[in-house]
Amino acid sequence: MESDIEQIVIRDNPAASRYETRIGDEVAVLEYEFDGAKQIALIHTEVPSALEGRGIAGKIVRFALDDARARGLEVIPVCPYVVSYLKRHPDDIEVVAPNARHRVTSPKA
């Protein structure tokens, strides 16, 4: 199964409002809400327990951020995992909607 994880394919499933990847019989997802215009809210990440700890959630978030950037969308990070990911990857701040950047930046000490 480890080789399956190296070769995961993530896709946008707009009918289900989620990014998803299937590994064996398991499906990991990042659910979203798209406003139909310029913003996409990333609202819930779920990775089956059998697949946890293998970096799959991070790969799905990376895919979602890259997809939003390519489509000219602004991201609204709602999911705590997405917020955490963005805090660890500050170079991605430009894809976050200006009115939502406070969620991923820490106040200066």
Q: What is the pLDDT of residues 21-80, one digit of tens each?
A: 999 899 999 999 999 899 999 999 999 999 999 999 999 999 999 999 999 999 999 999
pLDDT at site 108: 53
pTM of the model as a whole: 0.90
pLDDT at site 10: 97
Give the pLDDT band (50/70/90) at residue 109. very low
pLDDT at site 4: 54
CA pseudo-torsion sign 89, 93, 95, 97:
positive
Q: In the chain, what is the straight-line distance between the N-terminal and C-terminal CA atoms, in Å? A: 44
DSSP 18-70: EEEEEETTEEEEEEEEE-SSSEEEEEEEE--GGGTTSSHHHHHHHHHHHHHHH
Q: What is the pLDDT of residues 2-18, one digit of tens each?
A: 545 667 899 999 999 99
Question: In 3-state terms, what secondary structure has residue 106?
Answer: coil
CA–CA separation, 108 and 56 (whole Å): 31
